[in-house]
Structure 1
Amino acid sequence: ARVRGVARRRPGTRAASSGRFLRLDAGGRALMVRGVPPGHADCRPVLHVGQLPRDAGLNVPAVIEQDLGQGLLLLSDLGEQTYYQRIQDGVDDARLQSMYRDALAALVRLQQARTTGLAAYDSARLADELTLFPEWYVRKHHGATLDDKTTQALDKIFALLSASNGNQPTVLVHRDYHSPNLMLCDQPQYGPNPGVIDFQDALAGPITYDLASLVTDARTTWEEPQQLDWAIRYWEMARAAGLPVDADFAEFHRAYEWMGLQRNLRILGVFARLNHRDGKAHYLAHMPRVNAYVRQVAQRYGVFTPLLRLLDKLDDRQVSVGYTF
């Protein structure tokens, strides 16, 4: 691909995926190059999956040019900052609420997209992902060995979570719909806010998954009243759009919390693996936050007491006491 003008490099965004981004100023036109190292992945999922949210009205990068043999895509640029970067720089509450209302509205549009050609994010896949928690977080990260009683208790909890979450209504699931993958589009040339990136791993799966990704974000800490407010706002938007969310908010909220618990257990395992296997120690900084999100839900439902006791043992705490449903 050839772009007229002088290209000037600017910092891009980074994620835990194999894709790398380079932002360019080319003849007064803001562009982004996405590159995938040979042998890691290819760009074809980006091309296919990207059309699905675009057709639903989301602001996603447009493909200007492509070189699939080299694993390169030239994309339209969606802004200078991710949500995460803006939050780290400091943002007042009014602006924060506006940003997240936009993100919730975009999520509702995303969930109205077609799921053509997407693999199923079903109970079996959810169950398989949960094995990361005992393997990498418990055994490798904490150096702990599970006794038979605890193993059986975890197996029951994992089976319950996977069955419950796998039975939710199915929509397009981004899988990482959180602050690092939402671009703050605060200039007209970038399109409507937010811009959504890094969607190539999308699946057809549980309707509450991406809401849990956004609200219990591994990189941002939100107090429970704020979490509840955003969950309510999403639920109201989703119902108004005709999405298949439960008409009973209490049941919807339980399903959303259980989905968040499953996701965050997986993330603890993923972050432990990124550190111990891949040498990416910076992910350790996010573990206490994810642990807190896990505890928040585990304390609320009596069925998860064995999990809570395990976390207490791993963290060398006294046994937690919470209220249950």
Structure 2
Amino acid sequence: MSDLRPLAPDVSPRRYYRGERAGRSYILMTYPDFDETARANLQSFLKVRGWLYDNEVRVPEIIEARESEGLVLLEDLGSTSLRAAMESGVEVREAYLGAGEVLRHLKSCAPPVDLPAYKGSRIDLKHADVLRFYAPSLRGCESESALFEDYAQAWAEIEHGLPTCPQGFIHGDYHLENIMWLGHGPALERLALIDFQEALQGPLPYDLVNLLEDARADVPEDVQTGVKEMYCAGMDMDERAAFDAWYRVLGTQFHCRVIGLFIKLEQDGRAQYGVHIPRLKAYIARALREPLLAPLKRFFDDAGITF
């Protein structure tokens, strides 16, 4: 490849470059610090990409992979994420319905048997970042260990009373920047997935609430409702009740994790993440009005943590 041009970095350990080879544009994915963690991340990327491809989900073609060096040459899917497509005129409902249809397809696919479990994963445990980074920004001091214990107890009380959550493949970072727009047509043809290397086997509502309660954009209420109804079509009353309860729990945990992450990134000099904090606060404040989350509301009230 020649004339490599760096693409905008995200919060991941990977770096991406666009270049040309034999007159065709490609993406080079690299790991600047190719340690054991990065090696496992790359192996997961390759494994999950293969599984998605086998299940008829559009993903980048692998042109060449040098696993020992942490280098992968990928098909260039272009620069039009689903968010960019909406900014260029693609109708909001069409965009979100398409993304929801991909998730509806994925929930019918048996996940890889060796996919890591959501329970105990970084995504699962990091929602306590609301105490690590957000709470100190309000209280002016670090959160003491007892506060973390009370927070965990509040969530344990909530989850103890819930029905079993439906399980399956979850992307883990399912938002508009990780869904590429390839043109019009059926959802599985016009949309492609990227950044799926942290996929897990876990609670199905997670990806849907990640999509619809977007940390970076406001999604119209009617669009949220329409996509959720499409996704849940065919569920019986008990299945729907379980899905809705876990949707709220997982959504609130997601926002608690991301508000902590964005506060930390802002403190580290990445001011662009700070503009999303009011939206995340609003998501959490609205969720805390639901009776299901009463133990969490009591915890935040007692701790003097407001949203």
Same fold (TM over 0.5): yes
Within 5 A, what are the aligned runs for 1:187-198? Answer: 192-198=189-195
Deviation at 1:310, TM superposition (A): 6.9
Determine the structure 1 residue equivalent to 2:84. Answer: 85
Percent identity at matched positions?
A: 26
8 Å contact from structure 1 (residues 65, 73) kept in 2: yes
Say whether 1:271 aligns with 2:266.
no
Provide the alpha-carbon RMSD of the alignment: 3.2
Alignment match of 1:128 (pick from 125, 130, 148): 125
Distance 2:53 2:249 in 1: 29
3-state secondary structure, aligned to 1:156 = helix
- Whole-angstrom distance in 2 between the partners of 1:311 and 1:234: 37
Q: Which amino acid aligns with 1:62?
A: E
CA contact (8 A) 1:82 1:181 kept: yes
Q: TM-score, normalised by structure 2?
A: 0.83
What TM-score, normalized by structure 1, do the two folds share? 0.79
Amino acid at match of 2:245: R
**1:201 is paired with a residue of what secondary structure?**
coil
8 Å contact 1:298–1:308 — kept in the other structure?
no
Alignment of 1:154-303 (within 5 A): 154-160=151-157, 167-186=164-183, 192-236=189-233, 239=234, 247-276=238-267, 278-301=268-291, 303=294
1:30 match: 25
CA deviation vs aligned residue, 1:99-129 (integer Å, no higher than 9, x gap): 2222111112223142222111116766632
Gap runs ≥5 in structure 1: 316-325
Q: Kindly indicate whether the alpha-carbon contact (under 8 Å) linking 1:133 and 1:266 is maintained by their aligned counterparts in 2.
A: yes
More contact order relative to length (CA 8 Å, sep ≥ 6): 2
Distance in 2 (alpha carbons) for counterparts of 1:289 and 1:110: 28
Structure 2: segments with no counterpart, 5+ residues: none
Q: Work out whether residues 138 and 305 of structure 2, in 8 Å CA contact, stay in contact via their aligned partners in 1.
A: no
C-alpha distance in structure 1 between counterparts of 2:180 and 2:236, whole Å: 27
Q: Secondary structure at the match of 2:201?
A: strand
Conservation of the 8 A alpha-carbon contact between 2:111 and 2:201: no
- The alpha-carbon distance between structure 1 residues 226 and 150, as it changes in their structure 2 partners (threshold 3 A), is farther
Alignment partner of 1:130: what SS?
Answer: helix
